[in-house]
Amino acid sequence: MLRKFRQNDSAKAGGKVYLVGAGPGNPDYLSLRAWELLQEADLVLYDDLPGQEILDLLPAGIEKIYVGKRAGEHSFTQAEINRLILKAAEAGSTVLRLKGGDSFIFGRGAEEVEAIIKAGLDFELVPGIPSPVALASLSGIPLSERNLASSIHFFTASFKAGSDAELDYNLIAKLKGTLVFLMGVRKAEEICQGLIAAGLTESTPAAAVMDISKPGQRKVISNLAALAKAMEVEGIKSPAVIVIGKVCQFAPLFDWFSKRPLSGRQYLLTRSNEAFFNPGDGLGNFQHRKGGGGAAPYLSSLNSSSPCELEKLIRRAGGLVELRPSVQYRELDFTLPDLEDFELLIFTSPRAVDAFLKKVLREADLRALAKLELVAIGAGTARRLAEYHLRADFIPSHADSRSLAAELLERAGGLKRRCLIPRSAAGSKSLITELSKAYEVTEIPSYTVEPLPFDSELKDYDYIIFTSAMATEAFRSHSCTGRKALCIGEATAKAAKALGFTVELAEEPSFQALYEHLIKAAKLEGDHFA
């Protein structure tokens, strides 16, 4: 199961184990130390709660082993997990044990540390935000309030098999303050009835919050007598936290998370088959391999031209986003021409920037572009150039081929200037035809784009978002009539209409415009929280 881990210089001392709390599962709430270690690990052993969004932060090639535990279903026993940790660390590897919340709060962190110490290995503990703490900020339930609750009491409703441990409801009912139960969904009825029988009133405010920090976070506000039934009706499932106490009354007023503009809405965002954009092999400040410096893709500017940045905008506005690869890009091998022969270098997409500049960086350096006027079709392509430390000299007023051609023709001034256009091998010839009226055009097919079939069932999405015409081809085998599609440009809208989609078009071909369209549509529809 384990690959051969590379030996560090400290052979006998072995590697090092990091027990990292991933918080409530949303990358926004990772600590900087946790993110740093995600980039450095050789092996990651992870539980259920960290979630795919956090795993997506790992550089390519990092080995991941799922060791999660659910009630009655363990992928590995604790003894087996300990052996995996020790075997890898003893071989000299950096082992990251990634846990939801904090490693020492109702987890097995202490057992794992004991095994590490017994083996004589080095370790570090990285705290994470526990789910009850996240709950207070993200659901509007302050766990303490000086007039209502001056103490907080945490309980687990899950005990080791065969253990005599149980919840002492008579003792718990006498406590003053807020009662918080983790891993208690299956025992919700028992907890509520046990506390009532022990003396708490049926009208005691109570709540349950599910998927804390996730876009689909849901909560039920009720009272002690009705909470368990309300949880069942509303479909509250694990992982969820149960809160009992007067502080629950603040939830309707303090809740901001579920009141975000896209809360409860669900979108399918089509994109390329790459998880994140990783520009230029030669640009160390964008390298995300182990040892590379700079910001991770997740922490990059929201002004990036990657569709993943659109996903983040939607998610932070409360929307549920399913990212599905629907096109794949493949860079082509091409001969780099003598750049001294050209006066303009025209980029019609961020992908063209990547393919061409990677070639430049492999065979020369950016000084080869010194005498060229750089043209970008739109702001997204210009931003991609900026990520290579290059500034676009000209951007047309609208990010489409028609505007690009028309405005460049106006700028030609009767001179037959020479321009170079790296672009998709399948790109439309209309731009080349128009520019040839006033320019000597050399076209370089630098990459190809092909559709990937969408082989899953289409859910009832609020919108399917298309960022390229090619992406629509992935849905050719599906019944698309009547389904709402939001498209980035006219060519994409035309392709989606041909498949039967009810198409809406962003005001301009940019990811920001797509996002703003979703916000406007949500306001028109009103409350839509699931």
Give the three-class secondary structure for 195. Answer: helix
At 194, the amino acid letter reads G
d(CA 380, CA 398) in angstroms, rounded, equals 12
Residue 212 CA to residue 214 CA, distance in Å, equals 6
- Which pair of structure tokens corresponds to residue 115? 């095994």
d(CA 404, CA 395): 8
Q: How far apart are CA 361 and CA 279, in angstroms?
A: 11
Q: Which tokens in the block code for residue 112?
A: 């794992």
Burial class (CB in 10 A: 0-12, 13-18, 19+), 525: exposed
3-state secondary structure 364-416: CCHHHHCCCEEEECCHHHHHHHHCCCCCCCECCCCCCHHHHHHHHHHHHCCCC
Q: Is the Cβ–Cβ distance between 462 and 484 less than 8 Å?
A: yes
* CA–CA separation, 160 and 176 (whole Å): 28
Question: Checking DSSP bridges between strand 178-182 and strand 240-244, what pairing results, if any?
Answer: antiparallel
Q: Which of 48, 56, 64, 69 is catalytic?
A: 69
* Tokens 């990251």 -> residue: 96
69 counts as catalytic: yes
Contact 241/132 with Cβ under 8 angstroms?
Answer: yes
The catalytic residue among 16, 42, 47, 354 is 47
CA distances from 443 to 71, 104, 516 (A): 60, 60, 34
Catalytic residue flag (residue 484): no
CB-CB neighbours of 451 under 10 Å: 19
28: closest CA among 59, 62, 51? 51
CB-side neighbour CA atoms (13 Å) of 523: 6
Catalytic (active-site) positions: 47, 69
